[in-house]
A and B are shown apart, each in its own frame.
Chain A
Amino acid sequence: MSYIPISDQDKKEMLARIGVESVEDLFRCIPENIRLKGLLNLPGPLSEPEVIEYFEERGRKNTFDRYLSFLGGGAYDHYIPAVVDYLSSRGEFVSPYTPYQPEVSQGTLQVIFEFQTLICQLTGLDIANASLYDGATGAAEAVLMANRVKNKKRLLVASSIHPEYRQVIYTYTRNLGLEVVEIPYDGLGRVDQKGLESALNSHTSVLLCQSPNYFGVVEDLKTLSDLAHSHEALLAVVISEPLSLGLLEAPGKLGADIVTGEAQSFGLPLGYGGPYLGFMACKKDFVRQLPGRIAGQTVDAEGRRGFVLTLSTREQHIRREKATSNICTNQAHCALRATIYLETLGRQGLKKLAWLNLQKAAYALEKLTSIPGVRRKFGGPVFNEFVLEFPADWNRIKQKLEENGILGGLALGNDYQGLEKCALVTITEKHSRDRIDGYAEVLREVLK
C-alpha cells in the first residue's frame, strides 16, 4: 500500500528538472559498499483489510477483556466521554507539529494555555508547563529541578512512591552525582515522620512524596511540607491519580513547592501503558527552572490577544547543554484530551466523579474486609485504592481469583519486603455495586 502521490510521469519530469537519469543517482553520496543490494527482509505489503485483520488477530490473543479487573497502580480505567474521542481525533489537532508558527497554531496554543490553567487550579500552584512524558519521568524531572533550585545533592524519596517512578528516578540521577535516600512508610502507610526527620539535613534539596501514594493512602502534606521547609528543602508531590484533586485540598495550598504527576485518568485509555500524560506545576519563583514547553499570552500586531510558546531560553533548542531539560516532543495531544475531558466534566462533574470513586472504594473496602481473613493493611485515609492483607501469599489467591475471571489487585511483594500477602485494589466509577459484590463473593469462596 502506498501513501505516495507521485506518478511515474511526475517522477520522469522531476528527474529531468533535477538533471539526473534515475533516482539512484540521487544516492551517489552514500558509498557503494554500504548501500543495500536488495530489499529489506520485511513482511508486506499488506492491503488495508489485511492490516486490520492482522491486528484483530493479535487482539484476540489478548484475553484481558474477559476478566473483571481491579488493577490500578498508576493506570486507571475511568469512563471517557464520547466527546473526548470525537473532538481529539480531528486532523487539525492530530496532524500539526509543535506550534513553532504561532499565527497558524492558535488552536494548539490556546489548548495548552487552558491546560496550564486547569493544572494550576487543580494543584493550587502558580505555573504549569505544557506536559511531560508521564508520571515517572515527571517525578525524575521534579527532583532534578529541585536540585537546580537548591543546588544541594541530597534527594529524599518516599518509598511509598510508585516503584516504577522510583526506578526512573534512579536511572536519571545515577550519572549526576546525586544522593537519593528512600524514606520508609509507617503503619498508616504514610511517610514515616521519624525516618524523615532523621534523614533531613542541611544538604537536602527536596522531599518527594506521592499522594495518594502507591498504597492508595493520602499523605499528610501539611506536616511533610513543614518538616521539609524547616530544613530549607522543597516539598515535591507526585500524583498518579489526579482525579483525587476533585476532592482533596490542592497540594500547593498545603505547602507543596512542585507538584508533578500522571494525568492518564483524564480521558486517556489504558493503552497498555502509553502514551500517557505527565504534568508539572510549581511556585512562580522557580519558573526559570521548570522543564518543558510553556505557552504564554501576548498580543499581535493589531493588539489582539494571542498565544505563543515562551520562556524558551530554558530549552534545549536555544540553550543546548545548558537547558533545564532535554525534552522536545512531549505529550501535546494527550494534554488536549485531558483538557477536553476536564472542561467537559467541569467543576461539578469532577467533584462528583471524585466523590463516586471515594464512596465506591469505601464500600468495596468495607465489603472485602468483612470476609474472614481479609484485613485492611494500612490505617491511613484512602481515595480510590487500598491495600488488603490476606491469610496467605497473594500470588496463590490471585491465581484462584483469575480462574474465576477476576483480576483482584496488584501484588506488592515484589517491590516491598513484608507485603507478600498484600494486594493493591483499585475501584473506579466503572465498578458497579454488582461487580464489587461479585468480587467479594468469589473471594469469600476462594478463601474458604
Chain B
Amino acid sequence: MINIIREPLIFEISSPGKTGVRLPALDVPEKLDVLEGLTVREDIEGFPEVSETEVTRHFTRLSQMNYCVDFGFYPLGSCTMKYNPKLNEKIAGMSSLAGVHPLAPEKLAQGNLELMKTLEKLLCEITGMDAITLQPAAGAHGELTGMMLIRAYHQARGNPRKYVLIPDSAHGTNPSSAHICGYVVKEIKSSEKGTISLEDLAREMTEEVAALMVTNPNTLGVFESDICQIAEIVHAKGGFVYMDGANLNALAGVTRPGDMKVDVLHLNLHKTFSTPHGGGGPGSGPVAVRKMLEPYLPVPVIEEKDGQYHLNYNRPKSIGRVKSFHGHFLVMLKALAYILALGPAGIREMTEIAVLNSNYIRKSLEGIYHLKYDSPTLHECVFSDKFQKDFGVSNLDISKRLLDYGLHPPTMSFPLIVHGALMIEPTETESRRDLDLFIEAMKAIDREARENPELLRTAPHITYVRRLDEVQAARNPVLKWEKK
C-alpha cells in the first residue's frame, strides 16, 4: 500500500480536451433534424477529461489503498472472505458465455441455460432442498424473495399472517426483509447458550406467525442443535422455517438444511461458493425451497425437456419477478466452476477445515479475549473487548491496531447480543502461518492494551489515512465533488 502519493480525485486532475478513448468515426451521413423534439444538454458540467495513462495510474494507485483477500487474512465474521479462485474469473470472462444477450432466443442460449439448470441441481443436492431460483441478486434480496414466497403461500390459503419471529442475534437484513414484505417483526431473546430457547419459541409461535427466520449456525457460530424441534414447533402452527444460509460454509457436505426440515433457504454464492465480494458486490442470493413452495418461485423458471432448455413464464402462482433478466449469471458461473473443481469430497473438506481453522483461533485466544458464550462453535467465534475495556480500550481500538499489523480486523460490534463484539471467521483458505500471524498479533495487541493503551486508541498509525472522523461525515455530509 502506498502512503507517499496523495491521490487526488479524478476531477481535480482533469483538463479540457483530453479523452482516454479512440472512437470510430461516424460512417453514416450526419443529420441535424434528428434533434427535433429533443431537449439537448449544453454540457456535462464538471465531467472529467483525462488520458488513458492518467486513468490507469489513478485506478492503480487507488487499488493500492485497498486491503483485500489476495493480500492477506480477512476474518470478517459472517462474511466468509475466502480465497477467490482465479480460474473462475477466466470462465466468467469467456465471450461464448458472457457475450449472450439476456433476451436472445432460448435456442441460441442453450449452453447458458444448461449451466444455470446444472447449478440449480447441484445447489439442491448440497442443501437437500427440492427447488431453487437463481434470480435474487444478493443475500438480502434472497431473504426478501423467500419471505415473499412464504407470504404468497399463506395468502393463497386466505391469510398472509401478521408476524415473523427473528432471534436477537440475527443479521440486520432479516428484520428489514421481513418488514419490506409487509410483516411485523417479533424478536426472540437468545438463551444463555446463545441459541433459541424452545420454551420462548413455543410461547411466541401462534397461527398469526408466518415464519421463523433462523440463521444456522447462528451469528455466534453456534449450531442450533434443537433445529428439528424448532421446525416441529413452527410447523405445528402452520408456519415456515426460513433459514439464512449466510453461514453454509459451516455445514456444506456435513449436513443439509433440507434434512433439518427447513422450508426456505437463501444462499450467498459470494460467501460459501467463493465468488468475489468486489468491494461490496455483486453477490448472488439463490433461494431454495421445499416442494410446496415451488409454484410460487419467481418467473421465469428453467425447464428441461429432451435435452432442450426452456424458460417458462407461465406460472400463475408465481410471486412474479424480483429482478430483470436471469439474475447474476456471471456470478453463477463462478460458483458452478467452484463446485465442479471441489467435487463432493472437496466440499466436505472445505467445511471441515473452515471449522478447524475457527476452532484453532478460538482455542489460541481463549483467556486472552473474553468469550461470552462457551457453547461449541463451528466456522466462526465471537470474542469481546471485555478484558481490554479495563484499560480503556474498545473493540474499535483493537481493530484499528490490527491494521498496523497488516491484518484486516474481524467484524466489529456484531452480533448485537455481545457487547464490544469481535466476530472472527477465518475460512478454510488460510494457511497455518496466516492464522498464527493473526493470533500473535491479537496477543501482542492485548499486551499493548495493558502497557500502552494510547497506542491503540490512536491507531492506525501506518495506513494511507489515519482514523477517520465518521461523525463529521454524517453530520456535515459531503457526498460528491463540486467545482470550487
Contacts and interface: CB of A to CB of B under 8 A. Distances in A.
A321 B173 CA distance: 8
B236 interface: no
Nearest to A135: B324
B26 A19 contact: no
Interface stretch (A105-113, A152-160, A192-200, A369-377): A105-113
Interface in B297-341: 298, 319-331, 333, 337, 339-341
A170 B320 contact: yes
Contacts of B463: 103-104
A63 B106 CA distance: 10
B102 A87 contact: no
Given A31-B228, A74-B324, A104-B403, A249 B19 contact: no
A113 B9 contact: yes
Interface in B36-91: 36-41, 43-50, 52, 55-56, 58-60, 62-71, 74, 76, 79, 81-85, 87, 89-91
B350 interface: yes
A322 B178 CA distance: 11
Interface stretch (A32-40, A202-210, A226-234, A438-446): A32-40
Given A60-B111, A62-B109, A83-B52, A274 B137 contact: yes
Contact of A87 (B40, B56, B331): B56
Interface in B357-387: 357, 359-360, 363-364, 375-376, 378
Contacts, number: 684
A19 B353 CA distance: 16
Interface string A314-342: 01111111110111111111101000101
Interface in B1-21: 1, 6-7, 9-11, 14, 17-21
A416 interface: no
Interface stretch (B253-261, B287-295, B444-452): B253-261
Contacts of B242: none
Contacts of A302: 466
Interface in A70-113: 71, 73-75, 77, 81, 83, 85-87, 89-108, 110-111, 113
18 contacts: A26-B355, A29-B223, A34-B227, A36-B253, A42-B344, A45-B342, A91-B69, A93-B279, A95-B278, A97-B79, A121-B45, A121-B46, A274-B102, A312-B474, A313-B474, A332-B282, A333-B282, A351-B44
B49 A346 contact: yes
B477 interface: yes
Interface residues of B, number: 205
B391 to A, nearest CB: 20
B325 A275 contact: no
A114 B10 contact: yes
A34 B313 CA distance: 36
A420 to B, nearest CB: 17
B96 A6 contact: no
Interface string B249-283: 00101111001100000001010001011111111
A323 B20 contact: no
B21 A349 contact: yes
B83 A380 contact: no
A302 to B, nearest CB: 5
Interface in A180-218: 218
A22 B305 CA distance: 46
A60 B478 CA distance: 50
B270 A274 contact: no
Interface string B418-435: 000000000011111000
A352 B17 CA distance: 13
Nearest to A250: B41
Q: What are the 6 closest A-B residue pairs judged by CB atoms, nearest first?
A: A273-B325, A333-B278, A59-B96, A45-B343, A273-B102, A44-B343
Interface in B130-153: 137-141, 143-144, 148, 151
Nearest to A344: B20
A6 B342 contact: no
A87 B324 contact: no
B379 to A, nearest CB: 10
B330 to A, nearest CB: 5
Chain A interface size range: 35 or more
Contacts of B176: 316, 319-321, 323, 325-326
Contacts of B68: 91-96
A86 to B, nearest CB: 8
Contacts of B36: 381
A296 B478 contact: yes
A402 B19 contact: no
B362 to A, nearest CB: 8
B63 A62 contact: no
Contact of B353 (A1, A6, A349): A6
Interface string A335-375: 01000101111111111110110111011000000000000
A170 to B, nearest CB: 6
Contacts of B109: 62, 64, 272
A103 B102 CA distance: 39
B280 A3 contact: no
B99 interface: yes
Contacts of B96: 56, 59-60, 62, 65
B108 interface: yes
Contacts of A329: 138-140, 268, 270, 277, 280-283
Centre residue among A41, A56, A133 by max chain B CB count within 10 A: A133
Centre residue among A64, A172, A270 by max chain B CB count within 10 A: A64
B345 interface: yes
Contacts of A43: 122, 340, 343
A271 interface: yes
B188 interface: no
B474 A296 contact: yes
Given A97-B79, A293-B280, A310-B470, A133 B341 contact: no
B33 to A, nearest CB: 9
A346 B20 contact: yes
Given A23-B352, A56-B94, A175-B182, A65 B99 contact: yes
A96 B1 CA distance: 14
A235 to B, nearest CB: 15
B15 to A, nearest CB: 10
A433 B329 contact: no
A54 B408 CA distance: 36
A310 B253 contact: no
Given A39-B253, A121-B47, A59 B327 contact: no
Contacts of A17: 360, 363-364
B340 A44 contact: yes
B280 A248 contact: no
A42 to B, nearest CB: 4
A175 B329 CA distance: 28
A105 B225 contact: no
Nearest to A14: B360
Given A17-B363, A18-B360, A62-B109, A332 B39 contact: no
B199 interface: no
B185 interface: yes
A343 B128 CA distance: 47
Contacts of A113: 9, 479-481
Centre residue among A131, A245, A348 by max chain B CB count within 10 A: A348
B137 A137 contact: yes
Centre residue among A77, A81, A175 by max chain B CB count within 10 A: A175
B403 A103 contact: yes
A311 interface: yes
Contacts of B178: 321
Contact of B70 (A45, A91, A344, A362): A91
B167 interface: no
Contacts of B108: 62-64, 67, 407
B164 to A, nearest CB: 9
A58 interface: yes
